[in-house]
Structure formats: structure tokens, C-alpha cells
Structure 1
Amino acid sequence: MYDSPVGKIKISASNDGIFEIEFTDSDLIEDPRLEYFISQLDEYFYGDRKAFSVKFDIRGSDFQKRVYEIVSQIPFGEVMTYSDIAIMLGNKHLSRSVGNALAKNPLMIVIPCHRVVRADGIGGYAGGVWRKRWLLSHERRWTNPG
């Protein structure tokens, strides 16, 4: 469990890597395999880390994994729309499917689905829209300090 500025985060790992990150309200037992990743989360929240360098065990359908791969390439502090991702997948009509895939994102923050917004607004976020706004604001602050 990790206490972040946006609430408690449950982190689950297998021997193949981290496979789930989710917001929670419960207290959970710490897993010693997660110490290195937790230090990277600290660095992210302090504005010192823009990308994560730990092993992940990404789970999901082939489509979800394609969406997660694209979203993982969105630079720190930048955003893309659901439509942008649908077009990158080769079908501009997949925006809703992209949103559904991101709603099941097993690695919040690391697969930065908070960086995906609607063309006409912020859009949803499985961790809560207030957290999405906070994360986007946090990244903008560290991308454009001053």
C-alpha cells in the first residue's frame, strides 16, 4: 500500500512484475517486492520522475494492451484525446472502445490514462475525475515550473 497525495494506492505484484495499481480506502499489507517501485512513486509525486523503470506484468485483452502501449507513450505533462488514440489504432470510430479499455487500466499512473481526455472536456477516470484533474495539474506544474 502506498499513501499518495491523491489517496491510498494498492499495488499488486507477481514474480513477473507489477500487474495492478488501484486507488483504495482500505489498509493493506506491504509487499517487500514493491520497495523500489514505491521509491519511484515518491519521485513521481515530488516531480523528480517523469517515467517509471520497473518491470510490469501487463494484463488485458490484445486490444487493451494495444491501447495501453499507445497511452504509455504520452509524454509527462501532455494529453491526447480518445479520438487521437482511436486514429492511431487505425479506426477513428474506436473512441468509445478506447475509453472502455482505459476504464479497465490495471496500472493507473504508470499507464497514464489520466493523460487521455475528451475532445470537449476532461472525460472520466476510474480513480475519480478529481484525481485525474490533480494528476494533470501536478504534471503541468513540473513540466512548466514557475
Structure 2
Amino acid sequence: MENSYTFQSPIGRLTICEQNNQLTRLYLNNQDGGSLNGQSLERHSDFLYEAYRQLNEYFAGKRKAFELPVNGQGTEFQKAVWRELQKIPYGETRSYEDIAVAIGNQKAVRAIGQANGRNPIMIVVPCHRVIRKNGDISGFACGVEAKRYLLNLERENSINRSWKSV
């Protein structure tokens, strides 16, 4: 059984789900597939608290990388795409084509987009960092405004951090 915790974030109400101390889902409550028909239990745990803490640090601009084990359910292809997403540095973006090339299947651009859209662990597995080759940021399950907010948050904190170290 999956445990979950819901909280208010700058982009809306987020739900964190875990099973066996692994992050299984992280989603905005208005996303499809949020309900497990009673298979998820809203309950506090040390793991959920740690995930909540790290997400708050991220939204405050103090965390660039997450230290949470993830276990999203998907096909082997989807999991390969999601692993590649986790390699995109904070504050940077990649195109769907870049991801296709990185996983060794450069003709799979459309399939990359579909796998990106089915990512069950948003933010921690940063699907928001994938954009179209022309720079367009459309195509985010949570909406373009949420994607724009996350990209701007990272961009601003990347710039501010580098200026402080100069």
C-alpha cells in the first residue's frame, strides 16, 4: 500500500506518494490519475517528511538536487527516459530530441514526449526541463504556467548563486 501526503506549494496542491521508502508518485492534485481508489493512505512517515522538506527547500531556491530514491511505475523505455531526465542539470533544459539522442534512439522524439508526459514523479524527475527544440515550453501535464514557474525558479536561483560566488 502506498502512503501519501498532500501540501500546498507555489504551483498548487502537491501530493507525495511513497511505498517502502521510495518515492512512487509526485503530482499536482488536478492531474489525472491522482486517485488510487482507496489504495493510497494519507499518512505521515519519516520518508514523506523528508520528501516534503526537500521539496520546500527546492521551492525556496535552496536545493538543486534531490536525495530521494524513486520508483515510478512504467515501461522499460519510459524508465530509460526518466533516468535521462534526472541527468538534466538544475537550471538547464534539453529538447525532446536531445533526450532521444542521449538514450540512443534519435528517431523516438515523439515517444520521448509521451514518456515525459507520463512521468509519475514530477519535479524530482524533472520533466519540466524538457522543451521543444525551438524553445517552446508547451506540453506540460500541469500546465504551461506551472512549467514556466519551475523553469524561472531554477533559472533565477542558478544566476543568483553564480553571482554570489564571483
- Matched length: 145
CA contact (8 A) 2:16 2:51 kept: no
CA contact (8 A) 1:67 1:85 kept: yes
**CA offset digits 1:13-72 (Å, max 9, x no partner):** 11141100110159x934324001100011000011001112222221000010001110
2:27 aligns with one of 22, 36, 41: 22
Q: Which runs of 5+ in 2 are unaligned?
A: 1-5, 35-40
In 1, the alpha carbon distance for the partners of 2:22 and 2:14 equals 17
Amino acid in structure 2 at the alignment position of 1:61 = T
CA contact (8 A) 1:16 1:57 kept: no
What root-mean-square deviation, in Å, do the aligned CA atoms of Structure 1 and Structure 2 show?
A: 1.6
Give the corresponding residue for 2:151.
Answer: 136
| Aligned sequence identity (%) | 39
Structure 1 runs of 4+ with >3 Å offset? none
3-state SS of 1:93 partner: coil
Alignment pair present for 1:31 and 2:44: yes
Give the corresponding residue for 1:88.
Answer: 102
Shift of 1:102: 0.8
TM-score w.r.t. the length of structure 1 is 0.93
Task: Report 1:1-146 matches (<5 A).
Answer: 1-25=6-30, 29-32=42-45, 33-120=47-134, 121-145=136-160
CA contact (8 A) 1:20 1:107 kept: yes
In 1, the alpha carbon distance for the partners of 2:105 and 2:70 equals 28
Which of these two proteins has the greater Rg computed from alpha carbons? 2
In 2, the alpha carbon distance for the partners of 1:136 and 1:144 equals 12
TM-score w.r.t. the length of structure 2 is 0.82
Amino acid in structure 2 at the alignment position of 1:134 = Y
In 1, the alpha carbon distance for the partners of 2:128 and 2:44 equals 26
